[in-house]
Structure 1
Amino acid sequence: MLHISICDDERIAVEKMQRIVENVLEQEQLPAKLENFENGEEFLKQYVIRDDELVILDLDMPVKNGIGVLQELEKIQRNEVVILVTAYDNLALKTFSYGPFQIVRKEQMEEDLPKAIGRFLNIRKRNQEELEFRIKGELIHVKLEDIVYFEKYKHQVYVHLADQTVLTVRENMQDFEKELAGKGFVRTHAAYIVALRYCRKFEKNDIVLEGDVKVPVSRERRQMAKEQFMISRRR
């Protein structure tokens, strides 16, 4: 079940956010558990990584503000599940290096927060999609969000998963590229397709993934791969 945390020290703002969230969930007919927190420290004390979560976070709070929370979430690569809410543009600018999901202005919250939640739910739905692999006669289903990258070597494709499992399949990279189009993957090289969610930085000839794994980027795919990487970091 989706778990949604709302973190803001202003009671009126929390009530408004909760009402907006409940309206979106009702429209989507989606069950979820909602929790409210008054400041960043209170939120972090109880925080555990959940497979299915959304955090709606105010930037300007006492004790520990939203930037402090982002710094902690960045360490465990969970900023993609955050929607930031702020009344101050200067604070929002300071968060860009942490790559939050989206920033919403409080004065436009009624209009923009439902859109931000809708985008999150669309990405969530996409990540919950699965690929089907046939391995030694057995059909195996793997969630897209669990796939880190594909590696072609000779006549086989190695599918590297987040838990460090590697599946070996006899498939065509062109078929994977078509099937994964628009789903958060980019082909960086004739022999590699990577999941943008696991990309940490872009270097001249490589993309660096979690765990400092380097995947090559070919010259002809460099510009496109870099553009997709930058777009993914702004989400």
Structure 2
Amino acid sequence: MVVQIAVCDDEKIFLEDLVSQISTQFLENDNEIHINSYMDGKKLLEASEKIPFDILFLDIEMPGINGIEVAEKIRATNPFVSIIFITNRDDLVFQSIRYRPFRFIRKHWLKEELPEATEAIIKKIKDDNQYYTVSFNNSTMQIRITDIMYIESYKHDIFLYTEDEKHRIKSNLHKMEKEFEVYGFIRVHSGFLVNYRYIYSIDKTKVILNNKDMVPLSRYRIETVKQKLQLFTRGT
């Protein structure tokens, strides 16, 4: 798998140094990558219409379209892209939280903070490409775990829901929770696990997914669900 990376910063010297350091970090971990660099957000947005980027390294402060605006537009069409913001201004961090950044890196601490960020993102990419084997009718098939939106327990069966399909297996939700928690699945109800990547919003009684499906939410689980969602979206 080739990891598609976009790097955007309006300072040419810093941009070149950042691209060089990113290349070094990924190649040291034997990852095949393709890096595209941009000096303004508009060109990156144009490129994103043709290239399905896996990772964005974005300077927050840029003339014209800033990094937060770029993140908003790309996230709308590529919800699973991992975003790493580069900034010297802590006050801008809070404005960007809604776009679920994977990490923040301070420009003055690039050499110290980039290795940890790349190590974490490499692990995430590997986790995102894990598969679960489903057996039925004397045959098997593999489903990419990140394609599973939520898991439901009903009577003695487990149902796995993707955007287009529903798969029934024999198991129990307790076992599934132990197996899938590491991949970002959250127990929201006695009968449901939800993949955090698909959570659009949470209210007092339900979890609303990106495709507008609704999953029941137990009241006593609300705070735990919010805490876990925050941890997963921060990439920790």
Q: TM-score, normalised by structure 2?
A: 0.92
Report the equivalent of 1:127.
128
Structure 1, 3-12 or 67-76: larger mean CA deviation: 67-76
Structure 1 residue 160: Cα displacement: 0.6
Aligned counterparts of 1:204 and 1:45: Cα–Cα separation in 2: 39
Check the 8 A contact 2:83/2:100 in 1, yes or no.
Answer: no
1:93-108 to structure 2, matched below 5 A, reads 93-108=94-109
Deviations 1:25-82 (A, max 9, x none): 1211111111111110010011137666111111111221112102212323537511
Give the counterpart letter for 1:154 in structure 2.
K
Give the counterpart letter for 2:219 in structure 1.
R
Report the equivalent of 1:216.
216
RMSD after superposition = 1.8
Give the counterpart letter for 1:183 in structure 2.
Y
Percent identity at matched positions?
A: 25
Aligned counterparts of 2:80 and 2:58: Cα–Cα separation in 1: 11
Relative distance call for 1:185 and 1:77 in structure 2 (3 A) is same
Relative distance call for 1:79 and 1:159 in structure 2 (3 A) is closer
Aligned counterparts of 1:65 and 1:148: Cα–Cα separation in 2: 31
Structure 1 residue 15: Cα displacement: 1.5
Q: Is the counterpart of residue 72 in structure 1 residue 73 in structure 2?
A: yes
Deviations 1:80-102 (A, max 9, x none): 51100012223333212222111
Deviations 1:158-178 (A, max 9, x none): 21113x211122222222111
Structure 1 residue 220: Cα displacement: 4.0
Deviations 1:98-139 (A, max 9, x none): 221111110111111221121111111111111111011111
Structure 1 residue 181: Cα displacement: 2.6
Structure 1, 215-224 or 125-134: larger mean CA deviation: 215-224
1:26-65 to structure 2, matched below 5 A, reads 26-48=27-49, 53-65=54-66
Relative distance call for 1:121 and 1:49 in structure 2 (3 A) is farther
Structure 1, 109-118 or 33-42: larger mean CA deviation: 109-118
Relative distance call for 1:51 and 1:138 in structure 2 (3 A) is farther
Aligned counterparts of 2:63 and 2:133: Cα–Cα separation in 1: 48
Q: Which runs of 4+ in 1 moved over 4 A?
A: 49-52
Aligned counterparts of 1:207 and 1:190: Cα–Cα separation in 2: 14
Aligned counterparts of 1:40 and 1:108: Cα–Cα separation in 2: 23
Aligned counterparts of 1:26 and 1:175: Cα–Cα separation in 2: 37
Unaligned runs of 5+ residues in structure 1 are none
Structure 1 residue 204: Cα displacement: 1.0
Structure 1, 90-99 or 127-136: larger mean CA deviation: 90-99
Structure 1 residue 223: Cα displacement: 2.9
Aligned counterparts of 1:194 and 1:79: Cα–Cα separation in 2: 15
Unaligned runs of 5+ residues in structure 2 are none
Aligned counterparts of 1:49 and 1:174: Cα–Cα separation in 2: 41
Relative distance call for 1:122 and 1:51 in structure 2 (3 A) is farther
Give the counterpart letter for 1:14 in structure 2.
L
Aligned counterparts of 1:122 and 1:9: Cα–Cα separation in 2: 29
Aligned residues: 234
Check the 8 A contact 2:160/2:168 in 1, yes or no.
Answer: yes
Q: TM-score, normalised by structure 1?
A: 0.92
Check the 8 A contact 2:133/2:143 in 1, yes or no.
Answer: yes
Structure 1 residue 208: Cα displacement: 1.2
Report the equivalent of 1:198.
198
Aligned counterparts of 2:16 and 2:79: Cα–Cα separation in 1: 25
Report the equivalent of 2:12.
11
Report the equivalent of 2:234.
234
Check the 8 A contact 1:73/1:79 in 2, yes or no.
Answer: no
